[in-house]
């Protein structure tokens, strides 16, 4: 690969780098020089600080940006609760009603929702923790059949949202600029950043992981060295872009904009008479970004045995315990397998981590595809210590394969949200979606053959 050949051409400009300190202005001279909050910022703008970490967080962890905008974010009427929000206590996506079960789960491809936009098409499938304590994660699928209204915006106060586009492109307008996110691209929208999702290529479907604690980082490379896996230069952040729609004061204006916030897994709304997309310039290291999965520099064994799947980690959200992640985002892209005398697919496994997998395109080499199998737009969950591994047919095929160098996964990409947390499943995920494959376990492993043969007694 090294770069994905996308059907939809790029339409925006970006700044390249991960965790970098950027500055960008849509109007020359909009950024103040030498200070962040002058008495009178250039061009009559307001200075607003957006903090993604505590003020006193260590410098290498500190995330914050300064925005220079036409009107400050605080200029809006009070928010009110949305009575029919998808996370209310009487709804099947209610995170307070998670069911924790040890069974292996797999879902057929989730339905498209032609009448939904991105926000109304978000469905919480599984999760753990509590956003009020800034601990845990939420695992979603989304399905949208229409763009969000041009006079609307959404943000989450609960956490950073990692989006995995599976079908259909997302053209995302954020306060800090635009991101075009196509299948085989991901993006991360930080906690608090307002955005609006358009569908330039028609209906869209995909997956999302909301991180209630901390932020995503690149995994340490250790003895791998200074390059490989996801390289920092391949991440892309937006450049400043703004609209002008306002009145003489913040309470006046020719139009009305609906702002929706996800706050403790509930939705609230307000309406304001000025656009939220009025950031003329910004600088800092707290911003949305995207990444082309085709640029991931895969590594693997060139001698024997199958290494741990952690070698496929793109992004990691660390816990307080070194080497243990609240969430890892892992991919299984096209790659060459050359290990000698080795069972090449992933081995059978019981894991202290939970593994939620999805398929962006193609087939996964350790599971059968097609109807009733692991299909693009579907998912699986193998919870803490739930056994999993290749299905019976995949095992027999790999056990008897001619071990020549082989390119696997061409035209395919699977991914995994791996977490140290025990994952609960919503009522929607278990029942209402009607996508759970009831025969998954038996069809996958019920036919696993016994190859054991007791050795003959040694001859004297």
Query: Which residues are tagged catalytic?
Result: 306, 349, 355, 382, 388
Cβ pair 24, 242 in contact under 8 A = no
Residue linked to tokens 């059949």: 145
H/E run at residue 441: helix 440-445
β-pairing, 152-156 vs 257-263, is parallel
Backbone φ and ψ for 443, nearest 5 degrees, come out as -70, -30
Cβ pair 238, 12 in contact under 8 A = yes
Cβ pair 70, 280 in contact under 8 A = yes
Instruction: Provide, for the chain, the percentages of residues in helix, strand and coil under a 3-state DSSP scheme, each rounded to the nearest 5.
Output: 10, 35, 55
Residue among 353, 369, 362, 360 at smallest CA distance from 415: 360
Q: Is 15 exposed, middle or buried (0-12, 13-18, 19+ CB in 10 A)?
A: middle
Instruction: Kindly state the DSSP code that residue 15 receives in the 8-state scheme.
Output: E
């Amino acid at each position: 690969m090294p770069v994905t050949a996308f059907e939809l051409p790029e339409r925006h400009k970006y700044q390249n780098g991960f965790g970098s300190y950027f500055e960008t202005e849509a109007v020359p001279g909009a950024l103040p020089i030498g200070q962040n909050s002058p008495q009178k910022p250039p061009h009559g703008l307001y200075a607003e600080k957006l903090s993604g970490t505590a003020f006193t967080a260590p410098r290498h962890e500190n995330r914050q940006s300064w925005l220079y905008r036409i009107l400050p974010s605080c200029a809006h009427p009070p928010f009110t609760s949305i009575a029919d929000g998808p996370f209310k206590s009487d709804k099947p996506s209610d995170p307070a009603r998670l069911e924790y079960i040890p069974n292996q789960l797999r879902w057929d491809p989730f339905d498209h929702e032609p009448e939904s936009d991105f926000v109304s098409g978000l469905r919480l499938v599984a999760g753990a923790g509590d956003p009020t304590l800034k601990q845990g994660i939420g695992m979603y699928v989304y399905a949208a059949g229409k763009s969000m209204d041009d006079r609307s915006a959404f943000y989450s106060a609960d956490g950073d949202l990692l989006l995995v586009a599976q079908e259909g492109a997302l053209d995302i307008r954020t306060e800090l600029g635009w991101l075009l996110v196509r299948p085989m691209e991901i993006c991360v929208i930080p906690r608090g950043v307002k955005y609006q999702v358009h569908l330039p290529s028609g209906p869209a479907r995909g997956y999302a992981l909301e991180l209630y604690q901390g932020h995503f980082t690149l995994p340490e490379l250790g003895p791998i060295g200074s390059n490989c896996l996801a390289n920092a230069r391949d991440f892309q952040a937006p450049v400043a872009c703004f609209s002008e729609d306002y009145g003489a004061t913040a309470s006046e204006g020719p139009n009305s904009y609906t702002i929706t916030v996800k706050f403790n897994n509930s939705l609230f709304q307000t309406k304001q008479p000025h656009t939220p997309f009025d950031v003329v310039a910004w600088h800092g290291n707290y911003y949305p970004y995207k990444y082309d999965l085709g640029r991931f520099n895969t590594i693997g064994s060139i001698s024997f045995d199958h290494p741990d799947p952690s070698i496929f980690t793109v992004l990691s959200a660390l816990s307080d315990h070194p080497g243990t992640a609240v969430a890892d985002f892992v991919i299984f892209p096209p790659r060459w397998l050359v290990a000698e005398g080795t069972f090449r697919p992933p081995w059978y496994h019981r894991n202290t981590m939970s593994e939620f997998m999805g398929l962006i395109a193609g087939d996964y080499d350790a599971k059968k595809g097609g109807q009733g199998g692991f299909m693009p737009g579907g998912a699986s969950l193998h919870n803490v210590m739930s056994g999993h591994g290749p299905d019976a047919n995949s095992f027999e095929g790999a056990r008897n394969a001619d071990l020549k160098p082989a390119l696997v996964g061409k035209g395919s990409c699977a991914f995994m949200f791996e977490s140290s947390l025990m994952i609960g499943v919503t009522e929607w995920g278990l029942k209402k979606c009607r996508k759970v494959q009831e025969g998954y376990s038996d069809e996958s492993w019920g036919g696993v053959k016994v190859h054991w043969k007791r050795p003959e007694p040694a001859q004297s």
